[in-house]
């Protein structure tokens, strides 16, 4: 017996109001016909349901393919990274064969099963899966170079060079250079070698910055006239009496506090000079911070900004980015701030920010989402269906007394059910979505005893002009 077929005859009560399912084939026979579900469907022919072939234990598609169920059939398509018919063949696509697999400069494409990855050459690091950027080894710390050396970053590498005032000894160690041997100071000045530098100081009786000194004319005191007399006054930066003026060592006169904050005080004849620390500049008698950011001396990487500090600077990542070594990487706010979006919304990460969007079936700005009542839209369900709104969706169903065949609502013939509520002496008439009960033209006495049978549902009979009707 075919479980996917139903045979109906003209004499069969089941034939009343019945027809084959749209997914079935009808075969006419003498006095009857047969309904048989089409290939890919299962049922009795009157009702045919789609078979989901993708749930079969026996694999219908290739191991590297995806099975998609379709009405009465199915389809096989290769997964991303594979090509073929999806049924018998899905072979790996070598993404590296064309354009280095979209890997950038200084990267090598490495093919894998169904995918690929980009591998950076030495001295570079991978960002955004395909881009290789130079690693600034000099930002890792001073320990990368030896003492008295400074690090210079190069593409893919770095170099260690001696700091100013130092030179390589035997090509290995940077030692202090005695600049005084080269006589960089004025002939009227004394040279003092310092660690990594030198200081020129004009000798007594001369004045200047040490690199250039001029003789002081001790005879040219300032004469100050007073009533009935006069006296000689020493020039600024000197102290003494009428006959002798001596230089004031300003570097010592401040006791514990040096006049050169952020620098080294160097006394000169009649004055002093400030030799400033790195990151500061001298105006002669004081040291001020050099703003490397305003002067454009610093080139911070992408998605970062230069921030000046006392004697130095730092590169700070823009909002929405996080420092990863010397590179500012995009912060995935959807992972660290997932609760910012509504529970009925999904979060999409963007470069330096994120977006909140309500899910299908909801409306709002993503931070607040409310259910959409699809049943308010005209024609959302077929005309003979009723619409029921659900959270994020809706449901179309037939009214009581009707049954869906997948396309429309068909009336249910309650009279076919021989175990229904009708008495043996009554007749059942099917109505759209319901039915009506009636009695045969027999005497009332033949019908009334039925009410005394406890296993039957009683019906009240009303005598019209002819016959009886049950209700």
> Per-residue pLDDT tens for 418-468?
545 566 667 888 888 788 877 554 444 444 443 334 444 444 433 333 333
Give the pTM.
0.38
Choosing from 348, 371, 394, the residue where a domain stops is 371
Instruction: Looking at the structure, tell me whether residues 418 and 469 fall in a common domain.
Output: yes
Tell me how far apart the alpha carbons of residues 163 and 143 are, in angstroms, rounded to a whole number.
15
Number of domains in the chain: 3
391 CB-contact burial (10 Å; exposed 0-12 / middle 13-18 / buried 19+): exposed
How many Cα neighbours within 13 Å face the side chain of 439? 23
Say if residue 1's pLDDT is above 90: no
Tell me how far apart the alpha carbons of residues 85 and 56 are, in angstroms, rounded to a whole number.
20
For range 243-262, the mean pLDDT: 77
Higher model confidence: residue 219 or residue 297? 297
In this predicted structure, which of 86-90, 196-200, 413-417 has the lowest mean pLDDT?
413-417
Percentage of the chain with pLDDT > 90?
Answer: 30
Instruction: Looking at the structure, tell me whether residues 351 and 378 fall in a common domain.
Output: no
Phi, psi of 95 (to 5 degrees): -65, -20
175-197 burial code (b ≥16 CB/10 A, e <16): ebbebbeeeebbebbebeeeeeb
List pLDDT tens digits, range 94-125.
Answer: 989 888 888 988 999 999 998 999 999 999 99
- Tell me, yes or no, whether 443 lies in a domain: yes
Range(s) of the domain holding residue 348: 333-371
Tell me how far apart the alpha carbons of residues 400 and 78 are, in angstroms, rounded to a whole number.
45
- Read off the CATH number of the domain in which 423 is found: 2.10.25
Choosing from 371, 395, 423, the residue where a domain stops is 371
- Tell me, yes or no, whether 91 lies in a domain: no
Tell me how far apart the alpha carbons of residues 442 and 278 are, in angstroms, rounded to a whole number.
122
Instruction: Looking at the structure, tell me whether residues 362 and 392 fall in a common domain.
Output: no
Task: Please give the C-alpha separations between residue 465 and each of 62, 74, 441, in angstroms, as whole numbers.
Answer: 75, 62, 11
- Tell me, yes or no, whether 144 lies in a domain: no
- Tell me, yes or no, whether 350 lies in a domain: yes
**What contacts 221, CB < 8 A, 6 or more positions away?**
232, 233, 234, 235, 242, 245
List pLDDT tens digits, range 180-208.
Answer: 999 999 999 999 988 889 999 998 878 88
pLDDT of residue 362: 94
Tell me how far apart the alpha carbons of residues 90 and 81 are, in angstroms, rounded to a whole number.
9
- Tell me, yes or no, whether 384 lies in a domain: yes
Instruction: Looking at the structure, tell me whether residues 420 and 460 fall in a common domain.
Output: yes
- Tell me, yes or no, whether 470 lies in a domain: yes
Instruction: Looking at the structure, tell me whether residues 422 and 398 fall in a common domain.
Output: no
- Tell me, yes or no, whether 312 lies in a domain: no
Instruction: Looking at the structure, tell me whether residues 428 and 458 fall in a common domain.
Output: yes
- Tell me, yes or no, whether 382 lies in a domain: yes
- Token readout for 461 is 């009979």
């Amino acid at each position: 017996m075919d479980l996917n077929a139903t045979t109906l005859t003209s004499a069969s009560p089941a034939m009343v109001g019945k027809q084959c399912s749209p997914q079935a084939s009808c075969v006419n026979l003498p006095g009857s016909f047969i309904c048989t579900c089409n290939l890919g469907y299962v049922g009795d022919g009157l009702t045919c349901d789609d078979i989901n072939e993708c749930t079969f234990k026996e694999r219908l598609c290739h191991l590297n393919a995806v099975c998609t169920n379709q009405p009465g059939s199915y389809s096989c398509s290769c997964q991303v990274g594979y090509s073929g018919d999806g049924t018998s063949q899905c072979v790996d696509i070598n993404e590296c064969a064309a354009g280095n697999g979209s890997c950038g400069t200084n990267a090598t494409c490495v093919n894998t099963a169904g995918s690929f990855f980009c591998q950076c050459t030495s001295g570079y690091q991978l960002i955004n899966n395909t881009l290789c950027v130079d690693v600034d080894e000099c930002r890792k710390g001073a320990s990368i170079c030896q003492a008295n050396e400074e690090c210079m970053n190069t593409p893919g590498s770095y170099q260690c060079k001696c700091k100013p005032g130092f030179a390589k000894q035997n090509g290995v160690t940077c030692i202090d250079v005695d600049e005084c041997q080269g006589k960089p100071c004025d002939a009227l000045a004394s040279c003092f070698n310092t660690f990594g530098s030198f200081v020129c100081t004009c000798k007594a009786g001369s004045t200047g910055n040490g690199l250039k000194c001029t003789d002081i004319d001790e005879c040219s005191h300032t004469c100050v006239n007073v009533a009935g007399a006069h006296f000689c006054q020493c020039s600024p930066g000197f102290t003494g009496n009428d006959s002798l003026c001596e230089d004031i060592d300003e570097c010592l006169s401040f006791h514990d506090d040096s006049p050169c904050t952020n620098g080294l005080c160097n006394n000169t004849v009649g004055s002093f000079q400030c030799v400033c620390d790195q990151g500061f500049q001298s105006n002669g008698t004081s040291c001020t911070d050099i703003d490397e950011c305003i002067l454009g001396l610093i080139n911070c990487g992408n998605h970062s900004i230069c921030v000046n500090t006392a004697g130095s600077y730092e590169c700070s990542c823009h909002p929405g980015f996080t420092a990863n070594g010397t590179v500012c990487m995009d912060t995935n706010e959807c992972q660290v701030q997932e609760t910012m979006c509504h529970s009925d919304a999904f979060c999409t990460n963007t470069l330096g920010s994120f977006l909140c969007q309500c899910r299908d079936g909801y409306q709002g700005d993503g931070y607040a989402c409310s259910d959409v009542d699809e049943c308010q839209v005209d024609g959302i369900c077929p005309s003979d269906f009723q619409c029921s709104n659900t959270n994020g969706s809706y449901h179309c169903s037939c009214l009581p007394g009707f049954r869906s065949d997948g396309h429309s609502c068909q009336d249910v013939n309650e009279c076919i059910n021989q175990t229904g509520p009708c008495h043996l002496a009554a007749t059942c008439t099917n109505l759209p979505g319901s039915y009506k009960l009636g009695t045969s033209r027999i005497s009332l006495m033949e019908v009334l005893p039925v009410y005394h049978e406890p296993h039957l549902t009683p019906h009240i009979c009303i005598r019209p002009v002819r016959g009886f009707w049950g209700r």
